[in-house]
Structure 1
Amino acid sequence: MSLIEKAVERLDQLKQAGLEPASSPEVKAVTPELKPEPVQRTPEPVVTVKPSVGRGASIEQGSVSSREIEIDLERLHALGFVTPDHPRTVIAEEYRVVKRPLLKNAVSNGDVSVEDGNLIMVTSALPGEGKSFTALNLAISMALELDHTVLLVDADVSKPSVLRTLGLPPEKGLMDVLTNKDIALPDVLLKTNIDKLSILPAGNTTQRATEVLASDGMNRLLDEMARRYSDRIIIFDSPPLLVTTEARALAAHMGQIVLVVESERTTHSAVKQAAAMISACPIKMTLLNKCSQRGTAGYYGYGYGYGYGYENEA
């Protein structure tokens, strides 16, 4: 009898006797748990948005701040303007004198405070007297002060010249904010490489410029600009008073007005007419431009033709 047969016979005998063989421990097949291999993913690139010249944006006080533009300061100096790197030129000294009473009125407190004194309009009776030259020089000179920031607004919306003078292309600006509810003021401000100086371009032209500048929207915008930053001086390069109606609409909002008069050219009657149009403004000052002087100082303050290029009249 084979071993297998003997084993079977033994099992039968145990069953007949009511006995079961000791159970063998249950053997379970242990299948190793297969953990899914981690999926190798290509890491997503981290995109850092860095403002480029004329196109970027940054965050300032919870809102989109002005984009940055680069002004060629040497070119500006060659055109006869005040620049930070040439603080002792004749023109720089002259505008130190011009700006002082304006700054005093802009920040005065107490009984002699000037309402909206930080809103300063620079205009003239006629084209070509140098009001844009004066506005830009005042803005730069004031920006060199330690305690003030300056916003230069190109409000000559029919013939804007500020960006062109700086050698820069046109940009959206004042009129776009006033006519397009989707464009906010911080979206169109331009921060310059002159510390504390920003620019608000004129923006797109419109046939209804006078009505826009006299609108409630303009009132709200001026209130925002004047009161949001208490230390900010806002200078408006305005159209000439006797050839447009926009300047008169803008003058109604100003705390101070500088009337630029060209020496030996503008008539007394033209100056009187222009002065009458801005009589409601609390503070009015006259600046005599293109005035020849005897002595080493030579010729101070040259303007340029309205809508024309600069020319050296020294």
Structure 2
Amino acid sequence: MKDAAPSEHPGAAPRAVAIDLRRLAELGMVTHEGGRSPVAEDFRIIKRPLLRNLRAEDGSPRPHANLIIVCSALPGEGKTYCAINLALSIAMERDTTVLLVDADVARPSMPGVLGLGEHAGLMDILLDQRLTLSDVILKTNVPALSILPAGRSNRQATELLASRDMSELLSEIANRYADRIVVFDSPPLLLTTEAGVLAAQMGQVVLVVEAESTTQAALREALRQIESCKHIHLVYNKTRALPASARHGYDR
């Protein structure tokens, strides 16, 4: 699964798309033109420990630490909102590129938030050996940000995400470019098995917890499912103690 020249496969996606940045700004999300808004400052704080964890104390890269999955216990806690904002915030870093992966393959919501159409993506690569990453990764109008869509739905999504092909794809994504950070928008942990399978292969996990909604039981079970992960970060989302723009979360 090499990041090779574009294929002529009929399912291959267009290689460039335009994110609706005006709509993101209206949703109170991070944009390069948004300045020092409260939500931008929040995600500057959130991303800093994630970036620090990319390297060990001796300066050597930590294996797969640049693979970051954003998940939640249940739907509606704001994981897609957080994944997109995190990716956009990291894309502002110097000498860094970001690949945002829609791994919520059963119910992909990133296209609606970003104003994109349907494109081939992650599932298509796993289902069709003729496709390469270059066929399905979308360049965007945010210079340092690319997107890997979810692609077609499949009943064997869990098995595909747990397959050797997926492990090889993750290694390819993690290792091909030294400056690449990959942010995955995951399915909810307690509704699907795909999220736990994905999290087990990630270097870092961001678990989104909805203020005054996520129960202790749900949080404990979600943490149990990702307990094998060494680096777990909690994001307390939609809290009333923050400004309205900072606590707003897209309902996924």
Q: Say yes or no: TM over 0.5.
A: yes
Shift, 1:252, TM fit: 1.2
Shift, 1:301, TM fit: 2.7
Shift, 1:163, TM fit: 1.3
Question: Which of 138, 162, 178 is 2:86 aligned to?
Answer: 138
Shift, 1:112, TM fit: 8.0
**C-alpha contact 2:4 2:133 (8 A) present in aligned 1:** no
Corresponding residue number in structure 2 for 1:277: 225
Q: Write out the 4+ residue segments of structure 1 that deviate beyond 6 Å after TM superposition.
A: none
Deviations 1:11-42 (A, max 9, x none): xxxxxxxxxxxxxxxxxxxxxxxxxxxxxxxx
Shift, 1:106, TM fit: 1.9
AA partner of residue 90 (structure 2): M
Counterpart mapping for 1:1-314 below 5 A? 63-64=5-6, 67-108=15-56, 110=58, 114-293=62-241, 297-298=243-244, 300-306=246-252
- CA distance in structure 2 between the aligned counterparts of 1:147 and 1:107, rounded to whole angstroms: 15
Corresponding residue number in structure 1 for 2:11: none
- CA distance in structure 2 between the aligned counterparts of 1:132 and 1:266, rounded to whole angstroms: 16
Shift, 1:230, TM fit: 1.1
**C-alpha contact 1:107 1:118 (8 A) present in aligned 2:** no
TM-score using structure 1 length: 0.74
**C-alpha contact 1:114 1:282 (8 A) present in aligned 2:** no
Shift, 1:212, TM fit: 0.2
TM-score using structure 2 length: 0.92
Shift, 1:151, TM fit: 0.2
- CA distance in structure 1 between the aligned counterparts of 2:126 and 2:58, rounded to whole angstroms: 33
Aligned length: 244
- CA distance in structure 1 between the aligned counterparts of 2:101 and 2:251, rounded to whole angstroms: 19
- CA distance in structure 2 between the aligned counterparts of 1:71 and 1:107, rounded to whole angstroms: 31
Root mean square deviation of aligned Cα: 1.7
Higher relative contact order (CA 8 A, sep 6+): 2
- CA distance in structure 1 between the aligned counterparts of 2:55 and 2:15, rounded to whole angstroms: 27
